[in-house]
Amino acid sequence: MQFHTPVAQVGLCSHCGRDVGVAPTLCVFRIGCHVESMVSVIKMEYRIFGKTGWEVSEIGLGGSWFYGRPEMGLKPVSHGVAIVERALELGVNYFDTAPLYGRGRSEEVLGVALSGVREPYYLATKVGYYPEPFDYTRDSVWRGLDASLKRLKRDHVHLLQVHEAEKAEWPGLFDAGRTIEALLEIQAQGICDYIGLTGSDLGLMSRVLKETDVFVSVITFCKYDLLTREATEELIPTAAAEGVAVICASPLHAGLLGSKRDQWMAQGRFADLYNDLIRVEKIVEGVDESMTRTALRYLLSDNRVSMLLCGVSDIDELEDCVSVSDGGQLSGELIAEIEEG
C-alpha cells in the first residue's frame, strides 16, 4: 500500500489561497488542490495492524473530544473538522469513534471531515453501548450501526468494534440473537471489513481472543502506560500470539500523565496511583522530554503495540502527540527504571 508522504505544511495553497499553517485544510488530500510551499516536514511512522495487513499510523486519532471537553464548552463541528484535517496532513490514517461520543456528534464530525478525502485511511466505530445503554442484542447492533452510518455519511466502515465488552459478558456476546451474530452478518454483507474488541475486563478479552477467531484488534484503556502494566500480563501476550492488533487508548491515563494531573489529584481520582505518579515524575525529571512525550514514547517502545489512540481536543494537543512518531524509543535502562515499581 502506498501512502502520501505526510507533511506538516506551512504556506499558501495555490488552489484555495488559504494559509495551511494557520487554518488547517485538506489541501494535499482534496482532488485538484495542492500546497505551493512546504517549510517543515514531519514524518509519521507506520505499523502493521495485526493480521489485516493494514499499514496504520502509530498515532491514531480518537474521536472522544472532537466537540470539546466539558470544561471547554461545546465546540462547533468545524472545530473537530479542523483537528481531523490537521491529522491527515500529519500522516494520521486511522480514526476511531463511537456513537456514544457526544451522542453521535463525534461521528458527525468525521462524516464531514472525511468526505472527499482520497488518501487511504481507516475508520473504526463501535456498537453495543448506544442508543440503548448496554444493549448488545442483534437488533440493537443493526439499528445502532444504521444510525452511525448515516452520521458518518457512508455505507461501510473498515472496523466495527464491540464497545465495552464486559457490559455484555460472554453470553451477551456469543449467544443466539446477540452481538457476534449481528457482527458476522454485517461483515458477510461487506458493511465492515473486520471486527474489533474493546473493554476493561482483561480476563474476558483474553479468553475471547484465545477461544474465538472473530476479532482482529483489541483496545485496552488505561491498562498499559507509565503507571500500570496490567495488560502486559495476559492480554497483550495473547493478542501477539493470535496476531491481533493491540491499540492502547488513553495512553496518558485519562490525562493523569498530562493536562488533567492537578485536577484529578484535587478530586482524588485515581488516588491509588499517586505514589506511582510521583515516582515516575522523579524519573522523568532526568529525561530531556515532557511527561506526555515520555509516556507516549514508552508505549511506542513496545513493538507488540500497533497504535496509540490519542483523544485530543485541539490541534496543539494533536501536534504534540504526533511529534513523538519519529522512530525514537526509550532506552532499555530507562524502561527498566520505570518498570521497577
Cα distances (angstroms) measured from residue 146 to each of 152, 156, 176: 10, 10, 21
The CA dihedral of 178, 184, 185, 186, to the nearest 10 degrees, is 100
Q: For the CA atoms of 212, 98, 299, 305, what is the dihedral angle to 10 degrees?
A: 30
Helix and strand counts by DSSP (H, E) for the chain: 12, 10
pLDDT in tens, the chain (341 residues): 333 334 444 444 433 444 444 333 444 444 334 333 222 446 899 999 999 999 999 999 999 988 877 666 788 999 999 999 999 999 999 999 999 998 899 999 999 999 989 889 999 999 997 777 889 999 999 999 999 999 999 999 999 999 999 999 999 999 999 999 999 999 999 999 999 999 999 999 999 999 999 999 999 999 999 999 999 999 999 999 999 999 999 999 999 999 889 998 889 899 999 999 999 999 999 888 999 999 999 999 999 999 999 999 999 999 999 999 988 899 999 999 999 86
Phi and psi at residue 318, in whole multiples of 5°? Answer: -60, -50
Q: Which domains does the chain have, with CATH numbers?
A: 46-339 (3.20.20.100)
